[in-house]
Amino acid sequence: MSEKFYALLLRLYPAQFRKDYGNEAMRLFRDRLEDERGFFPRLRLWFDLVCDLTVSIPREYLRPASSRAVARTSAVYPGLYVIELEPLRLSALLSGGVVTVFAVGMVYAALISQAQAIGAKKYSGGLAGDGNKPGIHERARMNSDSGAGYGPSASVASSSGEASSNSNSESSAKSANGMIAKGVKLDDAERQRVIAAASIELRKHYVNRDAAALMADALLLHERRGDYDNVNDAVAFAGLVTQQMRDITGDRHLSLDFFEEPVPEQQPRTPAEEIAQYRALMKQKNCTFEKVEILPGNIGYLKMNSFPELAVCEAKAVAAMKTLNHADAVIFDLRDNRGGEPAMVQRMAAYLFDHPEYWYNPRENTTERSWTQSPVRGNLLADKPVYVLTSSQTFSGAEQFCYDLKMLKRATLVGETTAGASHAGVFHRIDDHFGMGIPEVKAINPYSQNDWTGGGVAPDVEVKSFDALDIAQKLAQERLLSGAGTRRH
């Protein structure tokens, strides 16, 4: 009975909508009928349906016809609010007005009343809540091996299936923290302690002594003047101090970070067990080389979801590159790559040059290690066109790969601007919840004053990362057809 009635109501929707989603809507209704038994749940169900019909029927009629026709092809723009100026009936306009008022009210009310609930529940579960965990691991790892790694432990974690749900670009992690932090308010004493410790750490470790003294004095002065008195929110406080340090030096690798979860006091040396686990995981995950294949047109395609430790995964890397060796162009897919070990980044890059090339690493001084080990024996890829696919989730070491290849004009970046994390500062723990990133060496960046820290690496061809592979494939094919396959040196 109920079902028939709802089926009748469904007829109020435009035919196209019924065709596309009628069955699904009916099914949803049946599911709810089944789950919500009893007088009040049923009453609520019908109340929901009445509200739903009032809102969504006019909306569907107001949807532009062209948009309706192409609804099922996801590549087509635009979407939500473009209404064509075709003549409308008065009734449609009226109901449209009512719907608009209602919808605006709902959005507004929802924004205010649910921001808290959304933050607490969902960010911690899906979007960025785990953001600070890899952060800690990553930083801790850096601490224990003097800043040599891009946090392989973190990238392992992400490559084991969380890659898509971890978005810990620094800013988003911070925002999420800001929303889920439970009563993380600072008092005077804590602020004083953090500032005092921060100035000491800066003087002790920052690469430029004079700038360190300037920053330390400035922070202490701010503190004495009471500039932090109203900054009770831990995340905001960390952000403010970070900004103040950067304002003085312009060094975006400096940061004061807040961690909701306590930062372990001392990093034990990596136990053998952990290394064994890492090896086992890498074996199981094929060293995060998700796909190595030759696409139509003899275009090599390598999807790497991290830059794993060279000591563990070198053989896999070599094998992957060997598979691609006879390709006419190569696409590196780093859209899900969360970084890893700089040594692996540099090892992979070596294949793309026929002579040693200066390889900028924000964490190292200029040494012989800053050059790629090119040429690689037997390698045929040094002069082949290279495309790198990026997304906003491309992170840390993966961004180094993008940045350097872009600066060297050795690759075409296709996709989205990357996350903007370099972890170039060495981590120094201040207390359970605060730590600092302080650069201890001055890496020579021959390309630009700022690297990708904060801003990310902008692609050469900006497309949705979802479409990046298609576009890169097309670009590569066009280029190969036009006979410009061989790169000039």
Partner 1 sequence: MPKRKLEPLPSAAFQILLALAGEELHGYAIMRQVEEQTDGKMRLGPGTLYSSVQSLLEAGLIEEREPRSETKSETKNGEDRRRFYRLTFAGRKLAVSEAERLADLLRVARAKKILRGRYV
Should residue 11 be labelled a site residue for partner 1 when binding is judged by CB under 8 A?
A: no
- Scan for tokens 């650069």, then name that residue: 439
Select the residue interacting with partner 1 from 190, 217, 233, 383 (CB under 8 A): 233
Should residue 367 be labelled a site residue for partner 1 when binding is judged by CB under 8 A?
A: no
- Separation of alpha carbons 48 and 58, rounded Å: 16
Should residue 29 be labelled a site residue for partner 1 when binding is judged by CB under 8 A?
A: yes
Is the distance from CB of 454 to CB of 417 less than 8 angstroms?
Answer: no
Residue 333 dihedral angles phi and psi, to the nearest 5°: -100, 105
Record the tokens describing residue 386, joined without a space. Answer: 């290279």
Q: Closest CB to partner 1 among 83 and 280?
A: 83
Select the residue interacting with partner 1 from 280, 466, 474, 486 (CB under 8 A): 466
Q: Closest CB to partner 1 among 31 and 145?
A: 31
- Separation of alpha carbons 78 and 355, rounded Å: 47
Should residue 116 be labelled a site residue for partner 1 when binding is judged by CB under 8 A?
A: yes
Should residue 121 be labelled a site residue for partner 1 when binding is judged by CB under 8 A?
A: yes
Task: From 200, 128, 197, 184, select the one nearest 421 (Cα to Cα).
Answer: 128
Q: Closest CB to partner 1 among 5 and 274?
A: 5
Any residues with CB less than 8 A from the CB of 178 and at least 6 apart, and which?
A: 233, 235, 236
What does the per-residue mask of binding to partner 1 show for 407-446, with x meaning CB under 8 A? ---------x------------------------------
Any residues with CB less than 8 A from the CB of 74 and at least 6 apart, and which?
A: none
User: Which region among 303-311, 386-394, 399-407, 442-450 touches partner 1 (by CB under 8 A)?
Assistant: 386-394
Task: From 299, 368, 294, select the one nearest 329 (Cα to Cα).
Answer: 299
What does the per-residue mask of binding to partner 1 show for 444-463, with x meaning CB under 8 A? -------------------x
Least Cβ distance, residue 319 to partner 1 (angstroms): 28
Should residue 171 be labelled a site residue for partner 1 when binding is judged by CB under 8 A?
A: yes
Should residue 101 be labelled a site residue for partner 1 when binding is judged by CB under 8 A?
A: no
Q: Closest CB to partner 1 among 332 and 427?
A: 332
Residue 234 to residues 69, 194, 463: CA-CA distances in angstroms? 50, 11, 36
User: Which region among 62-70, 143-151, 320-328, 431-439 touches partner 1 (by CB under 8 A)?
Assistant: 62-70
DSSP state of 307: B
**Is the bond preceding residue 41 a cis peptide, omega within 30 degrees?**
no
Record the tokens describing residue 223, joined without a space. Answer: 């503190």
Record the tokens describing residue 235, joined without a space. Answer: 């995340």
Select the residue interacting with partner 1 from 81, 90, 189, 226 (CB under 8 A): 81
Least Cβ distance, residue 228 to partner 1 (angstroms): 14
Least Cβ distance, residue 31 to partner 1 (angstroms): 4
Should residue 13 be labelled a site residue for partner 1 when binding is judged by CB under 8 A?
A: yes
- Separation of alpha carbons 170 and 418, rounded Å: 12
Should residue 89 be labelled a site residue for partner 1 when binding is judged by CB under 8 A?
A: no
- Separation of alpha carbons 337 and 396, rounded Å: 9
Should residue 48 be labelled a site residue for partner 1 when binding is judged by CB under 8 A?
A: yes
Task: From 263, 481, 107, 231, select the one nearest 219 (Cα to Cα).
Answer: 231
Q: Closest CB to partner 1 among 29 and 301?
A: 29
